[in-house]
Amino acid sequence: GDVAVLVPAAGSGVRLGPGAPKALRLLGGEPLLVHAVRRVAAAPSVRVIVVAAPAAEVEAVRELLAAVAPVIVVAGGAERQDSVAAALAVVPADVAIVLVHDAARALTPPELVESVAAAVRGGHPAVIPALPVVDTIKEVGTGETVLGTVDRSVLRSVQTPQGFRHDVLAAAHRACLDAHTDDAGMVEKAGVPVVCVPGSELALKITRPLDLIIAEALLHVP
């Protein structure tokens, strides 16, 4: 394998309601992080998996994942971007491709990991899985007044894992001073072309209580 996958899992998950850190919430009796790591580890290209855990849970996460796959566990940071940087710092220099995932996308199939990695290997420096937007999107101003309707055909809903040439992601992190909600955002800012490949409905981000119910149902889809 020529791929490292970073799995930021240090978020608190406030939008999911009170309870354990999000990555440790149970889905079908197992933590989201276990589901995510198991599927990543099943992708043949993956050589290294680095998990960024909540600082207080590093040892517990190491024990939890020991039976799932060989992983490196580091302490995450205050923002997702800090957790990604902490995980990126321990990736061996000879790994050519780095994918950045979300523990919250627990049902992401190994095939999506492979297709993103393959597109990077094929020559794209930055690759993101994306789906068409289903809702009509409005831009609003003060008082929720609609300013206009955005042309939906040019919009994409973006998922993870996002894949990068190792040097491209490392350079973007070194250069980055402001906040980004995804890793490709940082790379775009650096002027690197980013290309979309088809995403997967199974890669949904488990964020709100309804998402857990949907994920629970998807677990039982054959």
Q: Which of 80, 124 has the CB closer to ligand C5P?
A: 80
For residue 105, the minimal CB distance to ligand C5P (Å) is 8
For residue 1, the minimal CB distance to ligand C5P (Å) is 22
Q: Which of 18, 222 has the CB closer to ligand C5P?
A: 18
Q: Which of 86, 124 has the CB closer to ligand C5P?
A: 86
C-alpha distances in Å from residue 139, one per residue of 135, 149, 151, 201: 13, 6, 11, 25
Surface-to-core class of residue 123, CB atoms within 10 Å of its CB (0-12 exposed, 13-18 middle, 19+ buried): exposed
Q: Which of 16, 120 has the CB closer to ligand C5P?
A: 16
User: Which residues lie near ligand C5P (CB under 6 A)?
Assistant: 8-11, 22-23, 52, 76-80, 83, 102-104, 207
For residue 66, the minimal CB distance to ligand C5P (Å) is 20
107, 113, 115, 117: CA torsion to nearest 10? 160
For residue 177, the minimal CB distance to ligand C5P (Å) is 18
Secondary structure (H, E, C), 172-207: HHHHCCCCCCCHHHHHHHCCCCCEEEECCHHHCCCC
Q: Which of 12, 149 has the CB closer to ligand C5P?
A: 12
What does the block give as tokens for 212?
């857990």
Instruction: Name the strand (E) or helix (H) holding 98.
Output: strand 97-100
Q: How many whole angstroms separate alpha carbon 132 and alpha carbon 37?
A: 26
Q: Which of 78, 154 has the CB closer to ligand C5P?
A: 78
For residue 147, the minimal CB distance to ligand C5P (Å) is 26
Task: Determine the 3-state secondary structure of 219 from DSSP.
Answer: helix
For residue 196, the minimal CB distance to ligand C5P (Å) is 19
The answer to whether residues 71 and 50 touch, using CB atoms and an 8 Å cutoff, is: yes
* Residue of 146, 47, 135 lying closest to 94 (CA atoms): 47
What does the block give as tokens for 38?
């198991």
